[in-house]
Amino acid sequence: MPYHGVLIPEAIAATNIDSYNRNFMCSASSLDNGMVFQSSIRNWSTGSGAEVFNIAAPVAGSLSGLWMAYQGDEVVTTDLRYKGLDPNPRNFYIESGRVFSGFKPVVGDIILVTGESIKGTTDSYAAAADSNYQLIWSSTSSATALCFKKIATKYISLATGAIDTQRVTAYELECIIA
């Protein structure tokens, strides 16, 4: 079974500014924490309740002003949700059709994210790309797309339930273009 992205918001403006936090629904695809998407306040999800917004993959020409998925780890079993059933957060993902939380990254935000949420070979920058929910590694920064600069390669300890090492490589990123 493939692992999914883990996101730790180390210092994000959304912690203190409620308007940078929203509830979303993606009917087209499953998402990992740390994946990015576009949404509009005018794009209400019908039938899902108040203040739930539909999302779409980023598209060329609209790669800034994006949102990032950040949902607590719940395990879904036969339409029931439970916390704590699986100790490994890399086994968690957001199923299509489910309401989830996200935040709007702003310049200066610092996150720690595992490689499953970023596509390609590790490089200096991770930016939004056309038709892709994952950030893409790049050797140059983007001037027009949501872009993060890699600050450091770190490790996070995950409770996998295994006896072997539980250290997982993660990347500390700072938002430089929102």
Tell me which residue of 45, 140, 47 sits closest to 102, measured CA to CA.
45
Task: Confirm if 53 and 41 have CB atoms less than 8 A apart.
Answer: yes
Bridge-based pairing state of the strands 67-69 and 167-177: unpaired
> Whose structure tokens read 């924490």?
33
pLDDT digits 0-9 by tens, 79-88 = 545 555 555 6
Mean pLDDT calculated for residue range 149-157:
93
Mean pLDDT calculated for residue range 24-46:
79
Task: Confirm if 88 and 160 have CB atoms less than 8 A apart.
Answer: yes
Record the pTM. 0.84
Tell me which residue of 4, 10, 3, 6 sits closest to 111, measured CA to CA.
10
Cα Rg of the chain, angstroms: 16
Token pair recorded at residue 147: 């872009």
pLDDT band at residue 39 using 50, 70 and 90 as cut-offs: confident
